[in-house]
Amino acid sequence: MIEKNHDYELTIEDYGNDGEGIGRIGDFVVFVKDAAKGDRAIVRITKVKKSYAYGRLMELMTPSPDRAEPSCPHAKVCGGCSLMHISYEKQLEWKQNKVEQALLRIGGIANIKELMEPIVACDGKGLHYRNKAQFPVGCDKDGDITIGFYAGRSHRIIDTDSCLLQPAHFDEIIGACRVFFETHHIKPYDEEKGSGLVRHIVIREGRNTGQIMVTFVLNGDGFGRRVAGKDQTDGPLFSEEQALIDHLRSVKGIRSIIINTNKEKTNRILGFQNRVLWGSDVIEDTIGDVRFAIGPMSFYQVNPSQTKRMYEKALAYANLTGGETVWDLYCGIGTISLFLAKKAGKVYGVEIVEEAIEDAKRNAALNNIQNAEFYVGKSEEILPEKHQNEGVSADVIVVDPPRKGCDAKLLETILSIAPKRVVYVSCDPATLARDVRILTEGGYELQKACAFDNFGQTGHVETVVSLRRSLEKG
């Protein structure tokens, strides 16, 4: 029986779902953060469960040949880059295998290696690809402002001046905010007490337009001096807000400064109220030849170059000839829908988030796309209603669900409507494989699959698969 806080020597044999190393002590599986396949290491056990344990890497006896020196000094403590200690080539190899094994073992696709295309690598070997970053703001034990990222599995802020997953000008913006907060004595939010003002800074960029939005998430309605414990509100701007505008406008590319109000004691980053402090309420970006308006609440893929490649693959898998009726379920702000509309006869997008559908309609108008319609609601309710009551067909269905995968009722709906093709865009190989099994058992064949490294240096991988209705099923 292994014991907590004891050290053991073991060999890392494989990787877990999030890229953590896996070793064994007898029959016990041990998950070890920052370990690489092939490491021989001393590991200290930190938590013991019934048949597995967690350990901390204490000493490398024999390093794995897969190892790489992390290019970020915060890689071991920050919760972001869980794979930076592994060479980028091996990261890709692991992600390709992760998708293949899920589709084989969970999805039951015996010939998956024949059907998988090579994984599509991230530009720059997985560095500087993000167009969005969320920075928590707090204080250290000395009362100094900290701005950075949370340590893994905690809300302890790692104070950082830069992040290698983001463009360098994000660092310039955070540096400017830090100076402003210190100069004007702006208090960071204290999670435990619920006091203080600034909770997060969210930066978004239209990578292909260069337009930047900076959103300040506040435990209040705006920046201002404290008067008798209350914000001074007797003017169009709080007292420090014009100074903040003047301070940030000098940063190239900033088109929008937003105040987001979140006064609740919650882990949710953004509140539901936004106020334009300066500039526009949206920024714009392009994916291919489609233009998108992006607000502070909009869902928009964080790796624009990979997103373009992924959507082009989804479009190729849809195999549109110009007259098809396509349903895009979990459509978000219409990113895939508008790509599809360029080649389809008619596209219907469905999304449960009302604000996202408003964005989708705005984006359709922005691109003068008139063959796309969008509905607010559950896909498993909207699709059969339109099919049964209005006779709307579905030649192709595209789904891009959250990590939990498709709703079971939606999968039943897809099988009952029986489109010729289903294109599944997934951010989780396990739930993708589960849903693929349901669809293949219901009369579909998996034709092709392709993984995309949209999140280099992390354990996440995106996948696009093409399914075709079997001929014998009609």
| DSSP output for 356-383 | HHHHHHHHHHHTT--SEEEEES-HHHHH
Query: What per-residue confidence (pLDDT) applies to 231?
Result: 45
Listed residue (449, 418, 435, 434) closest to 316, CA to CA: 449
| Residues annotated as part of the active site | 427
DSSP alpha helix (H) spans, 204-265: 241-248
Q: Is the pLDDT of residue 471 over 80?
A: no
The pTM assigned to this predicted structure is 0.92
Higher pLDDT, 153 or 142: 142
Query: What per-residue confidence (pLDDT) applies to 458?
Result: 94
Dist. CA 419–CA 28, nearest whole Å: 46
Helices (H) and strands (E) in the chain, counts: 10, 24
Query: What per-residue confidence (pLDDT) applies to 238?
Result: 61
Q: Is the pLDDT of residue 438 over 60?
A: yes
- 226 forms beta bridges with 231
Token pair listed for 101: 């094994």
Confidence of residue 110 (pLDDT cuts 50, 70, 90): very high
Q: Is the pLDDT of residue 91 over 90?
A: yes
46: part of which helix (H) or strand (E)?
Answer: strand 40-48
Say if strands 226-227 and 283-287 run parallel, antiparallel, or are unpaired.
Answer: unpaired
Dist. CA 141–CA 283, nearest whole Å: 37
Least confident of 76-85, 107-116, 391-400: 76-85
Q: Is the pLDDT of residue 313 over 80?
A: yes
Query: What per-residue confidence (pLDDT) applies to 392?
Result: 82
Rounded to 5°, angle at Cα 101 from 308 and 121: 30
CATH number of 92-124+303-473: 3.40.50.150
Token pair listed for 32: 């070890």
Query: What per-residue confidence (pLDDT) applies to 233?
Result: 42
Q: Is the pLDDT of residue 303 over 70?
A: yes
Whether 132-287 and 92-124+303-473 are alike in CATH topology: the answer is no
pLDDT digits (tens, 9 = 90+) for 344-390: 999 999 999 999 999 999 999 999 999 999 999 999 899 888 888 88
Listed residue (82, 176, 457) closest to 302, CA to CA: 457
Q: Is the pLDDT of residue 79 over 80?
A: no
Give me the mean pLDDT over the 143-148 stretch. Answer: 92
Q: Is the pLDDT of residue 230 over 60?
A: no
Listed residue (62, 26, 31, 36) closest to 46, CA to CA: 31
Average predicted confidence (pLDDT) for the chain:
92
Query: What per-residue confidence (pLDDT) applies to 335?
Result: 93
Listed residue (17, 112, 63) closest to 446, CA to CA: 112
CA 387 to chain CA mean position, Å? 32
Query: What per-residue confidence (pLDDT) applies to 464?
Result: 98
Q: Is the pLDDT of residue 21 over 90?
A: yes
Pick the CATH number of 7-67 from 3.30.870.10, 3.50.50.60, 2.40.50.140, 1.10.287.1080: 2.40.50.140
Q: Is the pLDDT of residue 227 over 70?
A: no
> Where are the domains positioned within the chain?
7-67, 92-124+303-473, 132-287
Q: Is the pLDDT of residue 224 over 60?
A: yes
Give me the mean pLDDT over the 127-153 stretch. Answer: 91
Pick the CATH number of 132-287 from 3.40.50.300, 3.40.50.150, 2.40.50.1070, 3.40.190.10: 2.40.50.1070
Query: What per-residue confidence (pLDDT) applies to 281?
Result: 95
Rounded to 5°, angle at Cα 253 from 251 and 259: 75
